[in-house]
Amino acid sequence: DIVMTQTPLSLSVTPGQPASISCKSSQSLLHSEGRTYLYWYVQRPGQPPQLLIYEVSNRFSGVPDRFSGSGSGTDFTLKISRVEAEDVGIYYCMQSKHLPTFGQGTKVEIK
């Protein structure tokens, strides 16, 4: 299995300030077909997870542009340019190069 490791596991951010979450995979997520299968989801309190970013850097439908994803190979980052109150939740990275596996989750709270 591909192991996904997120850091930090928790983050307290002042509204309007940026936030960044790192995700590292135990092997490269670059597929032979040229695509990199790294995804970001957020689970807001009491809600099911929602897709934010697919294939490293593509924002899903309706996702605000303050969310961005970057990275390659085994190292990936989710950035929130200016955190808002509604961004509270747990953020998960996930790989689907092989059978899906998730990171442990990063809890984002507002200061």
Partner 1 sequence: QVQLVESGGGVVQPGRSLRLSCAASGFTFSRNAMHWVRQAPGKGLEWVAVISCDGNNKYYADSMKGRFTVSRDNSKNTVFLQMNNLTVEDTAVYYCARGMGCYSWAFDYWGQGNQVTVSS
Residues contributing to the site for partner 1 (CB under 8 A): 1, 37, 39, 41, 43, 48-51, 54, 60, 90, 92, 94, 96, 98-105
Distance CA 95, CA 108 (A): 21
Distance CA 78, CA 69 (A): 5
Shorter beta-carbon distance to partner 1: residue 77 or 104? 104
Shorter beta-carbon distance to partner 1: residue 63 or 81? 63
Sheet containing 67-72, strands listed edge to edge, beginning at the edge strand earlier in sequence:
4-7, 19-25, 75-80, 67-72
Shorter beta-carbon distance to partner 1: residue 74 or 106? 106
Shortest distance, position 39 Cβ to partner 1, whole Å: 6
Shortest distance, position 91 Cβ to partner 1, whole Å: 11
Distance CA 48, CA 23 (A): 21
